[in-house]
């Protein structure tokens, strides 16, 4: 398969003034497109894994041929992380749902969760991401460097913020903290909830079928 750039599903100015139109346009059409192109280029000599989705590739990174692992981590991860990121952005979505209940239970309050998530995003040295993931059935705030995906560590991302400078520098310059604060105004909690419900269902072991009676 040839990997392609997904549509955003909304206009480049839809997240104004929190994330500006110019940043969204360049981020999507230049940065994300470059990850897609470089992933396709990296896979050219590996026909056996060309049929896999980008998610499958990064989830099973360590089982891929050694020569292609770094390129898949960077460009496959870049593709997967950005495709995920566009989906969890939307203005004016009410902070509600099972995931918000679970966040409140785990972190005492949504505000406390935001504090810890913000600290993780601000402490990411250089480029990378901060995430809320489901890890072994539990909510956890983690950070990954560069374009590493939580999927490679067996974690399911529910919410994530891109803290590469390309994600915020045009509007916020060096003020990453302002960008992270603005990000919370454009979280699509409905989508985060969808990820949560799906991840929980996958984690819940299905009961073994009853043994047939003799
Ligand atoms: Fe990015």
**CA 210–ligand 1 middle distance (angstroms):** 49
pLDDT tens sequence across 17-34: 999 999 999 999 999 999
Q: How far is the CA of 1 from the centre of ligand 1 (A)?
A: 23
Rounded to the nearest angstrom, the distance between the alpha carbon of 32 and the centre of ligand 1 is: 7
CA of 59 to the centre of ligand 1 (A): 19
Q: What are phi and psi of 142, to 5 degrees?
A: -135, 170
> How far apart are the CA of 79 and the centre of ligand 1, in A?
9
Question: pLDDT > 90: what percent of the chain?
Answer: 93
What is the pTM (predicted TM-score) of this model?
Answer: 0.94
CA R_g for the chain: 18
pLDDT at 73: 98
Mean of pLDDT values over 42-53: 95
What are the pLDDT digits (tens) for 50-69?
Answer: 999 999 999 999 999 999 99
Q: Is the dihedral of CA 81, 42, 146, 169 positive or negative?
A: negative
| 120 neighbors 163 (Cβ within 8 angstroms) | no
Residue 209: per-residue pLDDT = 63
Rounded to the nearest 10°, the torsion over CA 119, 125, 126, 130 is -40
Residue in this structure with the two tokens 């995430």, named with its chain if needed: 131
Q: pLDDT tens across 78-93, in order? A: 999 999 999 999 999 9
Q: How far is the CA of 103 from the centre of ligand 1 (A)?
A: 25
Distance CA 175, CA 168 (A): 8
- Name all domains of the chain by residue range, CATH numbers in brackets: 21-87 (1.10.287.990), 98-201 (3.55.40.20)
Q: What is the 3-state secondary structure (H, E, C) of 106-139?
A: HHCCHHHHHHHHHHHHHHCCCCEEEEEEEECCEE
128 CA → ligand 1 middle, Å:
9
CA of 20 to the centre of ligand 1 (A): 14
Q: Separation of 99 CA from ligand 1 center, angstroms?
A: 25
- pLDDT tens column, 190-214: 999 999 999 999 876 656 666 665 5
| pLDDT score for 1 | 72
C-alpha 27 – ligand 1 centre gap (Å): 6
* DSSP summary character for residue 31: I
Write down the mean pLDDT value for the chain: 95
pLDDT band, residue 136 (cuts 50/70/90): very high
Are the CB atoms for 84 and 157 separated by under 8 Å? Answer: yes
């Amino acid at each position: 398969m040839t990997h392609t750039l997904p549509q955003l599903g909304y206009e480049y100015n839809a997240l104004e003034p929190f994330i500006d139109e110019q940043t969204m346009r360049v981020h999507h059409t230049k940065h994300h497109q470059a990850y897609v192109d470089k992933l396709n280029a990296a896979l050219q000599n590996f026909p056996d894994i060309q049929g896999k989705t980008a998610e499958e590739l990064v989830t099973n990174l360590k089982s891929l041929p050694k020569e292609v692992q770094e390129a898949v981590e960077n460009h496959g991860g870049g593709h997967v992380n950005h495709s995920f990121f566009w989906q969890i952005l939307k203005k004016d979505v009410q902070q509600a749902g099972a995931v918000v209940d679970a966040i409140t239970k785990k972190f005492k309050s949504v505000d406390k969760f935001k504090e810890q998530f913000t600290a993780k995003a601000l402490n990411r040295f250089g480029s990378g991401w901060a995430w809320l993931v489901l890890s072994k059935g539990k909510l956890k705030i983690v950070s990954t460097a560069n374009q590493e995906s939580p999927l490679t560590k067996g974690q399911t991302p529910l919410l994530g913020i891109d803290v590469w400078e390309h994600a915020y520098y045009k509007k916020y310059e060096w003020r990453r903290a302002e960008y992270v604060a603005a990000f919370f105004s454009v979280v699509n909690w409905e989508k985060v909830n969808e990820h949560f419900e799906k991840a929980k269902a996958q984690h819940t072991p299905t009961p073994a079928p009853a043994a047939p009676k003799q």
